[in-house]
Amino acid sequence: MAKEKKIVKVEKDETKKEEKGSYGFDKEGKIVKVENKGDAKERAKTKRILAIVLWILAITFEVIGILRLTDKINWFSNIDKVPFVIGAIVLDLAFFIPGSLLWKKANHIDPRSEKNKAAFWTWNNLGTILSVLAFLPIIIFVLTSKDLDKKDKTVVTAVATVALIIAGISSYDFNPVSSEQLEKAQKEVIAEVGVDRVYWAPTSKKYHVDPDCPAFSQSETIYEGTVADAYEKGLTDPCRRCIHALEEEHEEEEE
């Protein structure tokens, strides 16, 4: 028989500018804190800056590969041209993907308005757009190179093309979040429970408004936070079972 969960309410001092974070509990009543590391916009800004730095480094490796391919530089002359260029492509991809993941993470922390659909799509999928810049030029240089034989062209082009596909797909945000979507979700939760408070487990696919939801029956740890906290974790859909249960409870109380 599972132990009764004890909810511990942690009061926040609204006079302080620094957020204290959100709290949760496990099945033994132990409090689990969901860290709030400062203002969402500042945290998102930091991640975006890091993403841009990583993208610049990625494209730098592409440029180095092109320069070696066109004999503009002769670094590491003990390494043949083809392995060197392939290595540059791999390093390009190794820096590009973390940059794209940081960019997507930032957009879930501080989402953009979707009033302008084109700008919204471009902003959220900037990594996919830049992936073309990070890999297509070297493909063009390889195909037009007069110094590589057909076999080498085929190998390097294949590696660069696969890298382009991987970078493009990993950079694409299949579930972009808008500021309007987040605001609507916050209002819905507040309308249901009176406060911006939701729950989730480490394996949750959705956020819950009821800490006693049957979906938590096998969970060792349950976290409590705001809707924005849940969105940051990638949980953008509510558990309808929780909401329906609360609505029925409200109807019974009214009767």
Q: What confidence score (pLDDT) does residue 85 get? A: 95
Amino acid, res. 171: S
Q: Could you tell me how far CA 82 lies from the centroid of its own chain?
A: 34
Task: Read off the pLDDT of residues 48-94 as tens digits, 9 standing for 90 and up.
Answer: 999 999 999 999 999 999 999 998 988 888 889 999 999 999 999 99
Where do the domains of the chain lie? 40-171, 179-254
Kindly state the tokens that stand for 230: 């849940």
Q: How far is CA 254 from CA 188, 241, 250, 251, in A?
A: 20, 20, 6, 5
Q: Does residue 31 have a pLDDT over 80? A: no
Say if residues 89 and 158 touch (Cβ distance below 8 Å).
no
> Average pLDDT for residues 219-245, to the nearest whole number?
87
Q: What confidence score (pLDDT) does residue 12 get? A: 38
Q: Does residue 142 have a pLDDT over 70? A: yes
> Average pLDDT for residues 115-138, to the nearest whole number?
97
Return the number of other C-beta atoms located less than 10 Å from residue 221's C-beta. Answer: 16
**What is the DSSP annotation of 147-161?**
SS-HHHHHHHHHHHH
Is 78 exposed, middle or buried (CB count within 10 Å of its CB: 0-12, 13-18, 19+)?
Answer: exposed
Residue 180 binned pLDDT confidence (cut-offs 50, 70, 90):
very high
Kindly state the tokens that stand for 139: 């493909």
3-state helix, strand, coil in the chain (%, to 5): 60, 10, 35
Q: Does residue 8 have a pLDDT over 80? A: no
Residue 248 binned pLDDT confidence (cut-offs 50, 70, 90):
low
Q: Average pLDDT of the chain? A: 84
Q: What confidence score (pLDDT) does residue 251 get? A: 58
